Amino acid sequence: MFDKFDNIEEKISDLEGKLSNPALLDDQKEYQRIVREHSHLSRLNALYTKYKQVRKNIVENREILHDEEEDPELKDLARGEIEELLLQESRLENEIRLFLLPKDPNDEKNTFLEIRAGTGGDEAALFVGDLFRMYSRYAESMGWKVEVMDSSPLGIGGFKEIIALVSGDHVYSKLKYESGVHRVQRVPETEAQGRVHTSAVTVAILPEVAEVELDIDMNELKFDVFRSSGPGGQSVNTTDSAVRVTHLPTGLVVICQDEKSQHKNKAKALTVLRARLLDKMQQEQHDKISQERKSQVGSGDRSERIRTYNFPQSRITDHRINLTLYKLETIINGKLDEILYPLMTHDQAEKLKNT
C-alpha cells in the first residue's frame, strides 16, 4: 500500500542538499518551505520504517508457523507475536493515513486568542475573565507563554474584551477548535432570587502571521496615539503611549495600550492587524466553500454557538459533536484536553471519511 514511500530517503537527502546551500537563506519563504517539507518527510520516514519492520517480523513469524520441522513451543510464541504484530501494523497504517491528510499550514503557529463579551452585560464580561483564566491555565500546563496584547477591564472584575498572544509548540493545532460563541448558564452573584441567567461571549483564534507571509502597505495604515485608560475609562498613563491602527482598505481597527511604550504598542498592534487581515482573507475563502466548512469541526465560524457551560448542573456541552461532560469545574480550571481531544479525533475521522 505504501510502496511509493520507498524513495523517501532519496527525497530527504535531496532536501538536505538544498538546505546546505547558503544562497537559500536569501529567500526566507522558500527556506521555510523546504525546512517544513524536510521535517514532514523525516517524521513520515520514521513511521514508514517502523511499519516495514513490523511487516518483516510478521513474514518471519509466519514462516516459522509453516515450517513443519520447527519446535511446537516456538510456533506458539510465533502465533502470539503475530497477533500483537497485526495490531501494530493496523495502528501504524492508520497513523500513516492520518499523517498523509492535508495539513493545516497554521497548525504549528503561535496564536492570537481574542475573547469578547456578547449578550448578558456584566455577567458576560465576568465570563470573559473566566475563559481567559481557563485558557491561561491550559497554556501553563502545555508549557506555552501567554502575553496580553490588549484588554478592556471593567471594575466588576471582568473584561469587555481581552486579546493575548499564546506562544509555544503547536498552539494553533490545539486551540483552533475554540472559535465561536461560548454560552454560559449560571446564577449571577447579584441575582437575589437565584434565577439562572444565560450570557454569551465570542472567542476568535487567529494564527500569528509573519511579515514574509503577509506584506502590509504602510501607506494604507492610519496611526493615532492617545493616553491609555483603565477600568471605567480613567487615565492610567500620563503620555500618549496607546496606539490605534486603522487599515484603510478594509476598515479593520486594532488598539494596543497595555505597554507603557508607544513603540511597543505600535509593534503589537501591527502583529494583531496582520493576523486579522489574513483571517479576513481566509474567512472570505471559506465562505466560498460552504459545504466543506459544514463537514469540519474547525470551521472557525464566529457566529456559531459551539459550547454551553451550565454551572448549576456542572455540565459542559459541545454542540458540534454532541459531547456532554459533567466535569465543568475540572475543564474551567484548565483541563481542556478532555474536550479538545474528542474534537480533534472527530475532525480527523471526518477528513479520513472524505478522502
For every one of its 355 residues, what pLDDT tens digit does the chain have, with 9 covering 90 and above?
Answer: 566 777 888 889 999 999 998 888 888 888 888 998 898 889 888 999 999 999 999 999 998 888 877 788 888 888 889 999 999 998 888 888 878 877 788 888 899 999 999 988 889 999 999 999 999 999 999 999 999 988 888 877 889 999 999 999 889 999 999 999 999 999 887 676 778 989 999 999 988 876 656 667 888 888 888 876 655 445 455 567 788 888 888 888 888 887 778 888 888 888 888 888 878 877 775 665 444 444 445 444 445 789 999 999 999 999 999 999 999 999 999 999 999 989 988 888 887 777 6
**CA proximity to 225, closest of 264, 271, 276:** 264
CATH classification code of 111-354? 3.30.70.1660
Please tell me the total number of residues recorded for the chain in this structure. Answer: 355
Q: Residue 299 has what pLDDT?
A: 44
Sheet arrangement for strand 252-256: 221-226, 242-247, 252-256
With 0-12 CB in 10 A as exposed, 13-18 as middle and 19+ as buried, what is 211? exposed
Q: Residue 290 has what pLDDT?
A: 47
Beta bridge partners of 111: 166, 207
User: What whole-number distance in Å separates Cα of residue 12 and Cα of residue 151?
Assistant: 46
Q: Residue 231 has what pLDDT?
A: 53
Q: Are 351 and 101 in contact (CB under 8 A)?
A: yes
User: What whole-number distance in Å separates Cα of residue 178 and Cα of residue 189?
Assistant: 27
Which amino acid is it at 188?
A: P
Query: Angle between the 28-65 and 8-19 helix axes, to the nearest 10 degrees?
Result: 150
Q: Residue 298 has what pLDDT?
A: 47
Q: Residue 293 has what pLDDT?
A: 40
Q: Are 228 and 237 in contact (CB under 8 A)?
A: yes
User: What whole-number distance in Å separates Cα of residue 305 and Cα of residue 172?
Assistant: 20
Q: Residue 289 has what pLDDT?
A: 45
User: What whole-number distance in Å separates Cα of residue 339 and Cα of residue 310?
Assistant: 15
Which amino acid is it at 311?
A: F
Q: How would you classify the pairing of strands 242-247 and 221-226?
A: antiparallel
Q: Which residues contact 166 (CB under 8 A, 6 or more apart)?
A: 110, 111, 112, 113, 135, 139, 144, 145, 146, 175
Each residue of 92-119: b (16+ CB within 10 Å) or e?
bbeebeeeeeeeeebeebbbbbbbbbbe
36 grid coordinates? 517544513
Q: Which residue has the cell 520441522?
A: 69
The answer to whether the Cα torsion of 36, 4, 50, 91 is positive or negative is positive
Element (H, E) at 124: helix 122-142
Residue extents of the structural domains in the chain: 3-100, 111-354
pTM here is 0.66
User: What whole-number distance in Å separates Cα of residue 251 and Cα of residue 245?
Assistant: 10
Q: How many CA atoms lie within 13 A of 53 on its CB side?
A: 7
